[in-house]
Structure 1
C-alpha cells in the first residue's frame, strides 16, 4: 500500500553529525545534550526531522560507524537517558528523529566478534561473520576494501575475515538467522524508545554472492556501481530485499509512520527504485543527483529519470547535495564544471573559488528545495559552510587517509565542528577552545549569530525557502518543464536557474518570491542564480 499522505513523502530532514554539532561539556567532542540544546535552531530553520549519525558505543576507528553495542550510547556523547531526552525534546518541538543503523558490519570490539575470534574455525560464533580459509597464505579472493587495500584480514589461527571497509569493521553474515533476528530486535529497541526511523548504512551491501567470486574491478570510497560493467558480487545482491521486507513489517507495527532510509550507491536508477517498493524502504538517497555536474542537461536528465523510476513504484524522490561522506557542495561547485569527483581536499591540492562555490551552492539549494519529494540537508550547509580545504594532514582521522596510502584526503574536511557564535571559544561549538578537528579562521564569518536577521545571508535564504516550500506545497507537487531555459513549474511557482554567462529575462508578469542572489538592475536573473517566482 502506498501511503500518499505520509509525513516523509515531502519532509525536509536535517543530518546531525553528533561529534561536530554542539559540545555541551567542553571536551571538544559534540554530544547528545549539545544537540538537544540546539534543537530550537532546527525548529526555527523550518526542517521536519533530524537524522543523527551514529552515537553508539564504539572504538571510533571510523567515527562511530564501527559499532560495538547497538543498544547504547558512547560515553563520548552521553548516556542512554540523554538519547531519550533528545527524542522527547525533538518531539515536543514537532521534529521527527531518525537514527543511523549500521547492519553491514560491526566493530571488531563487538562482543560477537570477540567471541568469534576466541571460538575458532568452524564455530557457531564465526558463522555470524564471513570467515574463510585462504590459499597458500593468500586471502580467499581478490576483493578490495573501499578504504584501500585488501578486504581480508588474517587471524592468528590462519583464517581470514571479510571487511569491505576498515579492518576494524568485520562484515556480518546475513545468511545467518542469528544475525537477522538480532537486528529485528535492535529495530524494536529503538522504536520502543520513540525513534521515527532509521537511515540504513551501506544498505546495498549486506548480502554477498555465495561463491565469493574474485572481483578485480577497482574500488573507491563511495564509488557506487558502474551500470555499464558486470555486477559486483558484494553489492546490490537480490537477497537484500527480503531483509528489508522483514524490517518493513516490524516498522509497520508501530504508529506514526516510522521510516527506513537507504544509503545505497546503486545504479542504474531503476535498480535503486527497487529498494523503495511499497513493502520495502520508504526513501533512498539520490546520489546521482548529488554527483551531477553543474550543467543543465545533466541535472534535467537526473531529475526526469529519478521522478520517472520512483513513480513506477509509488515512491517519492529523496534529494540531497551534501552529507558527512562527500566534499561539501559549497566547495565542489567552486571548481570548474567537469572537475573529477574528489575524495577530500588538502592544502596542497588546487583550491576552489570560494565565492563562486557559495553562489552556485545557494542556487543549487533553491533548485533542490523546489523539487517534489523529500530533501536532506547536512549540518552547516544552511550557514554556507565550505569544506575545510587547508587542514593539516596531521589532524586527519578518516581511515581512508591511511588505508589509501595518503592518496585520498578523506572526509574530515566536511566534518569540522560548526560555528555558532563568531566571537566565542570554538566559535560557540562548545564552552572551551577545544575542537576535535581544527576549525579554520574563516569560520567566524559563517557563524550563525552573524547571519540571523541579516537580509541575504545564507541562513535567512534557507529559512525563507523552507517556509515557502511548505506554504506552496512544493514537496507534494510536480515538475512541468518550460521552454527556452532551465525552468519548470511546480504548482503556482516558476523555478528558473540561469546556467549561462549572461542574464536571462523572467516571463512577463512574474513576481519574484525568492532569489539566491539579487537580480540585476533590469530585473534579469544573473549567472548561477535560481529564482522562485509566482505567475
Structure 2
C-alpha cells in the first residue's frame, strides 16, 4: 500500500505527509538523444521513482520558453516547449504517473513572463500609457535621469532595463523576465485560466515560483539600505549568515499583504476539483511566522520551509529550525515542509563538507528531516549522493553567472547519471556530453551501479522511505525536543525518537529498538550519524 493509499483510507489529504521528488526536466532523462531531458524521458523513469518510494513528483517548468532562464521565462503557459516534447507527451506522463500511484505537481511562474510572451511584445509596441503596458511595471526615469528606484535584480545588477522608447521596465530577475503588474485584473484572470488548464489535464497541484513576489509596494519607493551596504535581492543571499544573527530587512519588492488575496482566489479554484488538489509556495520570507501566513486555511496547502536549507551544520541551528517551524505552522494549524536541496542552491552533500564527511552528513540530515511531521521534498540526484559539480566557465548557462561572472546554479543541475561508465551515463541515447557536461568520475554514482548495493546512497534512501512509510501518517504531528547534549539534535514523535550527532565524539543512545540508521550504531551514535529508535 502506498502512502497515498494510506492517506485515502485515513481521510487525510495526500500531501500532508508526502515525499515529493523534484524533477528538473532538462537534466533528468533524455529520450531523443539531443542531450536535453524531456517529457518522454521522465515517463520512462517513473517506475524508478515509484520503486524509490516517493509519493509525488514536482516538475520544474516545461512550458514554451526561449530558455534564457531554463524555463522560468515563460512565453506560453498552456503549451509544452518543443525542447521537451508536446502536450500529448505531457498528458501521457501525467497518465503514467497516476497509474503508478504518483501525484504530479506542476511548476507555475506568476511573478514574471518571458520578454517573448505576446503580452510583453504588445506592451513594447503599444508604448507608454497604453493598456498593454499596464500588464507590466513600466516607469519613467527620475527627474535627474536616474533609474526609477534602487532595486537590484536577484541575478545581479539593477532591476530596471530601458525600453527603446525610453521608459524602464522592472525585472527582479533577468532582463528577459519582466515582472507582471498584479494590480491589473487582467493578470489575475489570465492565471486562473492557466490553473484550470492544467487541473483539467490532471495536475494534482502547483508549486508556485516566487510566491512572495507578485505585488510590490505601490509607490515603488527606494529600498532602505544601511550606510556602506548595497541593496539586497532576496532571502537567498543570507545563506552564509548564522541564523541567530539574521535581521529583518527592508524589502518593498517582496512579501506584500495584497499577495494573499491572489492565493485565496486560487484556493477557491482548486477547491472545485476533486482529489485534494494542492499548492505549495516558494516564498523566501524572512521569518517562520511570515512563511506560515501563506498556509492559512484558505490559501496555500504548504510553503517551502527554507530555514533548514539555510542553516549551517549545527545541532543548535537545526533544533532552532525544527522548533521555530513547528511553532509557526502551529499558529495557523498548517502542515510543515522540509527541504535540503533544490535546483537553486548548492547540493547539501557539498554544503556539508563534501567527500565522505559531506555524504555522511547529508544522509544523516535527510534521515532527521524525514522523521518530522509534514512533507519532505527531495531534489533529483540526492538519492544517488551526487555532489555539486564545478562546471567550467565556458559551459555555464545560468543567467546569474552570465550577468555577474560569479557563482551560478549550474553545478546542481548537471544531468543525472543512470548507467554505464562514461558520459552521458545512460542519460540519453548516443555518445557524448549532455547540455551540461558530467564529470568523468561518476561511474560509481549511477543508479545502475548503486542499485542492490546495501552501502549505497540509493539503497539508503529506499530503506529510509520504506521505514518512514510505517509511521508517517500515524505518529502524529507533535514533536517533543529532547536535551541530549549541545551537539545532538534529538526529538520524539509518537513511537519514534530521532537523534542526529553533529559533534565530533560518539554519544550514548537512549533505550529503544533501532528502526533505521544512517551509519553503524553499537550502543553509541557516531559523529555525523542519525538514528531512528522505536519505542
| TM, length-normalised to structure 1 | 0.93
Secondary structure of the residue aligned to 1:428 is coil
Shift of residue 140 of structure 1?
A: 1.1
**In structure 2, C-alpha distance between the alignment counterparts of 1:420 and 1:220, rounded to whole Å:** 37
Is 2:499 the partner of 1:492? no
Secondary structure of the residue aligned to 2:424 is helix
Change (3 A) 1:303 1:435: same
Shift of residue 229 of structure 1?
A: 3.9
Shift of residue 511 of structure 1?
A: 2.0
| TM, length-normalised to structure 2 | 0.93
Paired position in structure 1 for 2:420: 422
User: 1:408-431, CA deviations, whole angstroms, 9 ceiling, x for partnerless residues?
Assistant: 310000000000103365011111
- Equivalent pair of 1:27/1:434 in contact (CA under 8 Å): no
Shift of residue 514 of structure 1?
A: 1.4
User: 1:133-174, CA deviations, whole angstroms, 9 ceiling, x for partnerless residues?
Assistant: 113432211111111111111111111100010000000000
Paired position in structure 1 for 2:452: 453
CA-based RMSD of the aligned residues comes to 1.6
Is 2:337 the partner of 1:318? yes
Secondary structure of the residue aligned to 1:71 is strand
**In structure 2, C-alpha distance between the alignment counterparts of 1:4 and 1:126, rounded to whole Å:** 47
User: 1:493-520, CA deviations, whole angstroms, 9 ceiling, x for partnerless residues?
Assistant: 2211112211122124x2212111122x
Is 2:520 the partner of 1:511? no
**In structure 2, C-alpha distance between the alignment counterparts of 1:219 and 1:58, rounded to whole Å:** 28
Is 2:217 the partner of 1:209? yes
- Equivalent pair of 1:15/1:52 in contact (CA under 8 Å): yes
Paired position in structure 2 for 1:196: 204
Is 2:507 the partner of 1:526? no
Paired position in structure 2 for 1:350: none
Where does the alignment leave 5 or more consecutive residues of structure 1 unmatched?
335-352
- Equivalent pair of 1:425/1:431 in contact (CA under 8 Å): no
**In structure 2, C-alpha distance between the alignment counterparts of 1:230 and 1:298, rounded to whole Å:** 20
Moved more, 143-152 or 221-230: 221-230
**In structure 2, C-alpha distance between the alignment counterparts of 1:483 and 1:327, rounded to whole Å:** 31
Paired position in structure 1 for 2:365: 364
**In structure 2, C-alpha distance between the alignment counterparts of 1:222 and 1:398, rounded to whole Å:** 19
Aligned counterpart in structure 2 of residue 35 of structure 1, from 29, 42, 60: 42
Give the 4+ runs in structure 1 shifted more than 6 A. Answer: 224-227
**In structure 2, C-alpha distance between the alignment counterparts of 1:212 and 1:420, rounded to whole Å:** 48
Shift of residue 478 of structure 1?
A: 2.7
- Equivalent pair of 2:235/2:285 in contact (CA under 8 Å): no
**In structure 2, C-alpha distance between the alignment counterparts of 1:430 and 1:517, rounded to whole Å:** 34
- Equivalent pair of 2:423/2:438 in contact (CA under 8 Å): no
User: 1:404-455, CA deviations, whole angstroms, 9 ceiling, x for partnerless residues?
Assistant: 2x1x310000000000103365011111224000101122111111111111
Change (3 A) 1:287 1:193: same
Shift of residue 51 of structure 1?
A: 0.1
Change (3 A) 1:483 1:462: same
- Equivalent pair of 2:422/2:440 in contact (CA under 8 Å): no
User: 1:451-495, CA deviations, whole angstroms, 9 ceiling, x for partnerless residues?
Assistant: 111112111111111111111226744322233243222221221
- Equivalent pair of 1:319/1:368 in contact (CA under 8 Å): yes
Is 2:232 the partner of 1:219? yes
Is 2:132 the partner of 1:129? no
User: 1:384-405, CA deviations, whole angstroms, 9 ceiling, x for partnerless residues?
Assistant: 111003x21111111111222x
Paired position in structure 2 for 1:70: 77
Where does the alignment leave 5 or more consecutive residues of structure 2 unmatched?
1-9, 226-230, 239-244
Shift of residue 227 of structure 1?
A: 6.8
Shift of residue 219 of structure 1?
A: 2.1
Instruction: Map 1:339-378; keep pairs closer than 5 Å.
Output: 353-378=354-379
Secondary structure of the residue aligned to 2:507 is coil
